Amino acid sequence: MKKVIAIQSGRAPAPPFTGKTVADTRSREMRDLRISVTDRCNFRCTYCMPREVFDAGYRFLPHEAILSFEEIARLAKVFVGLGVQKIRLTGGEPLVRRHLHRLIEMLAPLGAELTLTTNGSLLAAQAQQLAKAGLKRVTVSLDSLDDATFRAMNDADFPVAKVLDGIEAAAAAGLGPVKINMVVKRGVNDRGIVQMAERWRGSGHIIRYIEFMDVGSTNGWRMDDVVPSREVIERISQRWPLEAVDPNYAGEVAERWRYLDGAGEVGVISSVTQAFCATCTRMRISTEGSLYTCLFAHSGHDLKQLLRGGASDDALRNEIAAVWQRRDDRYSEIRTAETARERKVEMSYIGG
């Protein structure tokens, strides 16, 4: 399942990177880095880590196989030197990794915007410590406000009230405005679209609706289960009229919509029905140090071997730049029923 393209010892090193901007074959610049700090999670969300696959016998990576905080910080510094402006920590569930605040303390001085995506289950207890360490903002995954629906989707019998407590704690710690991500699946939680909008209207936080995606090979994705973003906007607009808003920055994946009455905004992420491959600026590092150029990738590029083999920062920079410059990903633009069934890296391993 975790196929990696190894950078073999003795292989010719990548040519020196001499450009000022790292651009791929489609002229997309590298601006965002997502780092998965663990492949473990305390939830078993059906669209990400279904329990029938990630059961009690599932073998997660041993601690010695995953990148240390020092290794992550070293890679992040190289990426920032290549133009990365935003770093997001993901998982698995990043807050299950012990002492995560120490990594944040290492990353904060690099100058990139530092954010984190979490299921919110452990956020109430850690929010103040994370903020003090230098974290700037959090995104919380919350798929329903209905407790029964939420418990069924996380498949860990975890109550929605505790996630709401985590969001409040994050805001109180200065980690807001909090972005709340709702993966919408038809017939499962789509009846809660308007309820979710109502809950966060006027709060200063931003709800973002994400189309159910064919990430990995275990979540049973079907196009029939996708609720298109245009339908989400139509449902909300019937209650509170919305107008489109310009992106905050080039390459922003969420399409922004503002309430006409001034009660804030919502976002939709439409990677299934409105592909945004053409403006993608993201690179991903998996838990054990493989570099992925797409969320829907089949394979990665091993950086851990370089890290632990004595490579210099210049060698790391050259390798990363070379990988990006060869990049030609456009999975969402060419998605078909056939390609959707192809084996891809799991989201819990690469980060969402």
Rounded-to-integer distance, Cα 19 and Cα 238, Å: 50
Residue 4 has pLDDT above 50, yes or no: no
DSSP assignment string, 99-161: THHHHHHHHGGG-SEEEEEE-STTHHHHHHHHHHHT--EEEEE---SSHHHHHHHHTS---HH
Measured CA to CA in angstroms, residue 95 lies from 101, 127, 347 at distances of 9, 10, 16
CB 154 within 8 A of CB 193: no
> What does the pLDDT average to over 307-311?
96
Of 216, 213, 198, the C-alpha closest to 253 is 213
| 319 sits in which H/E element | helix 313-325
| pLDDT tens by residue, 200-226 | 999 999 999 999 986 656 566 788 899
What is the tally of structural domains in the chain?
A: 1
- pLDDT, position 8: 43
- Is the C-alpha dihedral spanning 72, 287, 96, 173 positive or negative? positive
Residue 264 has pLDDT above 60, yes or no: yes
Structural domain for 254, as ranges: 4-350
**At 32, which CATH number?**
3.20.20.70
Residues 6 or more apart in contact with residue 280 via CB below 8 angstroms: 28, 251, 253, 294, 329
**Verdict on whether the full-model pTM lies above 0.85:** yes
Rounded-to-integer distance, Cα 229 and Cα 251, Å: 18
pLDDT tier for residue 7 given thresholds of 50, 70 and 90? very low
